[in-house]
Structure 1
């Protein structure tokens, strides 16, 4: 038997073909629009066109422990099977070619794609997503290591250490706004380690609006935070540090009371005035002494929002911690989460990471809605494994052969 001769091809690989399995989460049209919006079209035909590089950066989070060439092989595995049947072979680009392609594409297109696709998705039927008609949102931040290179260290910086010691890795700070009932990340900002969470968190208020209830921890609380949230016509429920004192203006029947928060010096110079707040104090018996919590909120209607209900719902803020765990442990699972050696590629990779999480959580939400259950009951790791298998399998299917859904629907 004579071996069949194979011809090496440079096939045009479309993003819609590569990510068919994720089409309902990240539309091919959105990738095309992001490329157009950022003028990221290549001037000549390339082996790694922009749309394929975008798919590759997203896929880096799906196969986080694999090398870049292996990720690319996994990404086009279904297409490769089709080519082999007709005696064609797509030569996987070298590591240096992949690096050059990522540098050419940059990070702006990934940022634009992220903001084009992410949005709150929960409906009134989504269990636990709303409280009294208000969409539950949570805000928090985290830090993570990036490779210890000169450029990464200069841009992102190291955390403070004891005199005579140096931190092992530079760190990037990431602040997230999530929809508590779905774990969907609806906005995110990253910055060097030296910039605090509060400054970034306040900028994320661009994505909150009327009809939402925003929850934050005591590390993010400030007069400016409350003022900026109210400016967006969004309600809030936040924890207060121990050192903040309140004057009791009026005690309400449910045990909470009305008070005021005064502007800080800078806000006062800009015309800031005191803001009326409702304070809720309660103790959780975790040990012999118990732990006391103090919350402030803009919700003053004790009939619709009694103190016990708000105290109970506040602990849904921990859904953002679970989301961070999904990102840092279950999705990536690397000792050093980011692999890129230069700041621009670090930012690019983080947006690919966020888009990978969005794709998985979006698919989980769609499945949960059809089954009329909470998306938080589904396994994130299990869905990730399914997506890994589905990406190549869907590449060989036609639209009318899709077993569960139609792309673009």
Structure 2
């Protein structure tokens, strides 16, 4: 997408970004991408001193001017750029797959928002059972490439939205990229199985593997072997119950699903459902495959605790969504740089004797250095200099590596309902 086309699709009005301003359209995008979650005026001053030094010496730029400029920018700007990035990444077919599938995962995560009446009205809220105190919350849903560590698409929706409906919207976005040659296999947690949803995936040509609750349909409960295919008929009673839940599967519809029962180290039996045949996915492969879904959990963790996606720089829905989608875009760019640096590092280490068998780029260093290096490359007009900056950044990342330890597990910690990143806790330095 060319610059002028991106500008036209991203502005709120045809009159926006038509005059020369101290911060124009593309510097504004870069500034929002770079936001390191300091106080706004510090961010503005540092950005102009680093990337617009001549202008910074002769003029000032206030956070009020910045806020006015942001009002003209639609959050769709960052999704458009991310769409271009995703299409370009998969275009030549040179990406990691699993047994011929692009291995994906879909899941949702609750997002903490600035707690205002407007955000509560727009996105919904959670409330305490004792005193009824309300805190604004939203629900995000990612469609994530587990092997290539990319968020293909995402959306920020209401806290009370249905995760299966959000998953369908992400699948529709995936299919809109028109990458028919790519076979997709999506992993789901146990909140997703339903006859309506599995039929939807089947109709869309999507392969799936999902964890099911033990009480999910008697045909599944009654299986007697670890691996068998069952037929689930949508009776009138089931169709009526599905309709009551907001799902629509006509009576008489038959769903064929493969049921896998695998034993966990704890002795618990886990039930997995799939439409992938035994010829393409053996029983032995199903358990480790499902646990690859953990990649999307770690991505949510990275967004929240390394990119601080919930540390919003403003309180209105439009600006909240700018921050949200800009951060997802930056995290994808980080993944691409990380992959490039690791490939180069592996090639260099191939003939060396190292203490550990596998190393990865230090993600904290990557996140800390990415924004400034990225903006330098984006704003550099000379292609040769841009290539030099790119190579220098990859070398810098390879100097900061950490060993990979297999088999480590961590206990999940429950989070308080109070916001981690309130306006009063934003960093000043």
Interval of TM-score (by shorter of Structure 1 and Structure 2): 0.7 to 0.9
Identify the residue that residue 350 of structure 1 maps to in structure 2.
Answer: 324
- The question of 1:140 aligning with 2:126 is answered no
Residues in 2 aligned to 1:137 and 1:276: alpha-carbon distance in whole angstroms: 22
Alignment of 1:237-386 (within 5 A): 237-247=209-219, 255-263=226-234, 264-265=238-239, 266=243, 270=250, 273-286=253-266, 290-301=267-278, 303-332=279-308, 337-371=311-345, 377-386=360-369
Of residues 110, 120, 142 in structure 2, which corresponds to 1:176?
Answer: 142
TM-aligned CA deviation for residue 101 of structure 1: 0.9
Structure 2 CA distance for aligned equivalents of residues 80 and 124 of structure 1:
38
Question: CA separation in 2, counterparts of 1:274 and 1:199?
Answer: 21
| Residue 203 (1) aligns with residue 172 (2) | no
Q: Counterparts of 2:311 and 2:232 in 1: how far apart (Å)?
A: 40
RMSD of aligned Cα (Å): 3.1
Partner of 1:96: 64
Q: C-alpha displacement at 1:405, in angstroms?
A: 4.7
Task: Rate the CA distance shift 1:313–1:368 in 2: closer, same or farther, 3 A.
Answer: same
Determine if contact 2:190/2:210 at 8 Å carries over to the other structure.
yes
Stretches of structure 1 that go unaligned for 5 or more consecutive residues are 1-28
Q: Deviations over 1:123-146 (max 9, x none)?
A: 8876xx422111110010101211
Output the CA distance in 1 between the equivalents of 2:254 and 2:337.
Answer: 44
1:245 is displaced (CA, Å) by 3.4
Correspondence 1:120-131 to 2 at 5 A: 121=89, 129-131=96-98
Q: Provide the rounded CA distance (Å) in 2 between the counterparts of 1:229 and 1:187.
A: 17
Please state how far the C-alpha of 1:377 moved relative to its aligned partner: 3.3
The equivalent residue for 2:118 is: 151
Question: Which segment is superposed worse, 267-276 or 312-321?
Answer: 267-276
Contact 2:229–2:258, Cα closer than 8 Å, also in 1? yes
Between the two structures, name the one with larger relative contact order (CA 8 Å, sep ≥ 6).
1
Contact 2:40–2:313, Cα closer than 8 Å, also in 1: no
Q: C-alpha separation between the residues in 1 aligned to 2:361 and 2:264?
A: 29
**Is 2:375 the counterpart of 1:399?**
no
Tell me, in whole angstroms, the C-alpha distance in 1 between the residues paired with 2:223 and 2:169: 33
TM superposition shift of 1:106:
3.1
- Residue 250 of structure 1 deviates from its aligned partner by 8.5
Q: How many angstroms apart in 1 are the aligned matches of 2:122 and 2:345?
A: 46
* Kept after mapping to 2: 8 A contact 1:261/1:275: yes
Q: Deviations over 1:366-397 (max 9, x none)?
A: 33344568x99333222122324524665678
40-49 vs 178-187, which deviates more? 40-49
- Counterpart of 1:44 in structure 2 is 19
Contact 2:10 2:74 in 1 (8 A): no
Q: Decide whether the 8 Å contact of 1:221 with 1:239 is kept in 2.
A: yes
Offset of 1:77 from its aligned partner? 3.8
Equivalents in 2 of 1:76, 1:262: separation in Å? 64
Q: Unpaired segments of 5 or more residues in structure 2?
A: 348-357, 392-429
Asked if the contact 1:212–1:235 (Cα under 8 Å) also holds between the matched residues in 2, the reply is: yes
* Alignment TM-score, normalising by the size of structure 1: 0.78
Residue of 76, 83, 106 corresponding to 1:115: 83
Please give the alpha-carbon distance, in whole angstroms, between the structure 2 residues aligned to 1:251 and 1:312: 22
What is the alpha-carbon distance in structure 2 between the residues aligned to residue 38 and residue 337 of structure 1? 23
Displacement of 1:355 after TM fit? 1.3
1:220 pairs with 2:192 = yes
Find the residue that maps to 1:278 and give its secondary structure: strand
Distance 1:383 1:217, change over 3 A: same
> How many aligned positions are there?
360
